[in-house]
Amino acid sequence: MRRAAAVFILVALLAGCGQKGPLYRPGEKAPEPVTTAGK
């Protein structure tokens, strides 16, 4: 059960990476994600 929970959390973090959602931490001043559409 613990392994399944850890995998779920990792997948959720990867899925939320680069988009401002519930996983976005405003406390960390991270640079804006590089997008190919912006270039």
pLDDT at 12: 74
What pLDDT digit, counting tens, does each position of 1-39 carry?
799 998 888 877 766 555 555 555 566 555 666 666 655
CB of 12 closer than 8 Å to CB of 23 = yes
For the whole prediction, is pTM greater than 0.85?
A: no
Q: Closest by alpha carbon to 24, among 36, 12, 34?
A: 12
The pLDDT of residue 22 is 55
pLDDT of residue 3: 92
Report the candidate in 5, 37, 36, 10 with the shortest Cα–Cα distance to residue 23: 10
